[in-house]
């Protein structure tokens, strides 16, 4: 059975993940409600998302849904249990994705999540030798009027 996820969302009472999917054999949209069991305001969102993604009954339906999306949905659920609104939870998630943040000061759970996001982005941008648009020695010319960032280690008074 070939399933393509169309939409994925959450329901607060009872805590559930809702998936709107299309069964490609019969071309019909279906809705599946997957309860999130044993979930509290102290739960690990990544672990709960992995548990749901690998669940024997629900895992097949969630193959086309990324783990990161499920983690974000579980984070909104957890924040709702903590008393935050959906807007506040999403704002907090966006704020935690700033590039200027020092990753040495974040928790281990947050660091693992950030590294997983970086790995996904790396794999998306990676070029392999067997791809048709692969170029071995790629050289890029940047426009002269582009903004150049300067750094203190770029400038040196000493010549070696």
> Contact at 8 Å (CB) between 29 and 6?
yes
Residue 90 reports pLDDT greater than 80: yes
Nearest-5° angle of CA 121, CA 19, CA 21?
90
Predicted local confidence at residue 100, as pLDDT? 65
Q: Which residue has the higher pLDDT, 11 or 98?
A: 11
> In sequence order, what are the beta bridge partners of 34?
17
Nearest CA-CA partner of 17 in 112, 124, 45 = 45
Mean pLDDT of the chain: 83
Q: Residue 5: how many CB atoms within 10 A of its CB?
A: 17
Residues 42-76: tens digit of each pLDDT: 888 888 999 999 999 988 888 888 888 899 899 99
pLDDT at 37 over 90: no
Lowest-pLDDT range of 27-31, 69-73, 108-112: 108-112
Instruction: Outline where DSSP puts E strands in the chain.
Output: 3-11, 16-23, 28-35
């Amino acid at each position: 059975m070939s399933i393509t996820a169309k939409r994925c969302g959450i329901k607060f009472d009872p805590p559930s993940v809702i998936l709107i999917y299309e069964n490609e054999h019969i071309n019909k949209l279906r809705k599946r409600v997957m309860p999130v069991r044993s979930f509290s305001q102290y739960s690990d969102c990544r672990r709960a998302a992995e548990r749901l993604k690998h669940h024997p009954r629900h895992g097949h339906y969630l193959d086309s849904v990324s783990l990161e999306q499920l983690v974000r949905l579980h984070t909104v659920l957890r924040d709702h249990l903590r008393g935050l609104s959906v807007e506040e939870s999403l704002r907090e998630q966006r704020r935690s994705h700033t590039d200027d943040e020092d990753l040495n000061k974040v928790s281990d759970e947050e660091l693992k999540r950030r590294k997983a996001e970086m790995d996904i982005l790396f794999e998306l941008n990676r070029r392999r030798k067997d791809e048709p648009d692969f170029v071995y020695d790629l050289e890029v010319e940047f426009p002269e009027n582009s903004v150049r960032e300067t750094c203190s280690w770029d400038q040196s008074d000493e010549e070696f």
